[in-house]
């Protein structure tokens, strides 16, 4: 086994690549759907529940998440306005 000498290590290239990776990671985290966009964390149950920061009554079923929107409430999903259930 040999010890690599300092002159053989590209420290500048490593630092530059790590900084590029770190900037991209921060951009993803700060993006519209990134972790930093989270305003609340609520565990859903089968019983519908309302939350201050979202319209509708939210619940979890065997088929997935359900939201019941009252009159005048709406959500936008993939550019499509959703009303009702």
Whether 47 and 29 have beta carbons less than 8 Å apart is answered as: no
In a domain, 13, yes or no: yes
- Average pLDDT score over residue span 22-30: 95
Q: What is the DSSP string of the chain?
A: --PPPGGG--HHHHHHHHHHHHHHHHHHHHSTTSGGG--------SS-EEETTEEEEEEEETTEEEEEPPTT--EEETTEEE---
Q: Determine the structural domain holding residue 21 and report its residue range.
A: 6-37
Query: pLDDT digits over 15-24, tens only?
Result: 999 999 999 9
Q: Does pLDDT of 37 surpass 90?
A: no
> Are 53 and 31 in the same domain?
no
> Are 55 and 32 in the same domain?
no
Question: In the chain, how many domains are there?
Answer: 2
In a domain, 42, yes or no: no
């Amino acid at each position: 086994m040999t010890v690599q000498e300092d002159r053989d290590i590209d420290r500048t290239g490593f630092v530059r690549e790590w900084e590029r990776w770190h900037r991209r990671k921060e951009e993803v985290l700060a993006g519209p759907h990134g972790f930093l966009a989270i305003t609340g964390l609520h565990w859903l149950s089968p019983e519908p529940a309302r939350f201050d920061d979202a319209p509708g009554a939210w619940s979890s079923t065997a088929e997935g998440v359900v939201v019941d929107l009252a009159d005048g409430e709406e959500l936008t999903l993939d550019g499509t306005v959703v009303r009702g259930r």
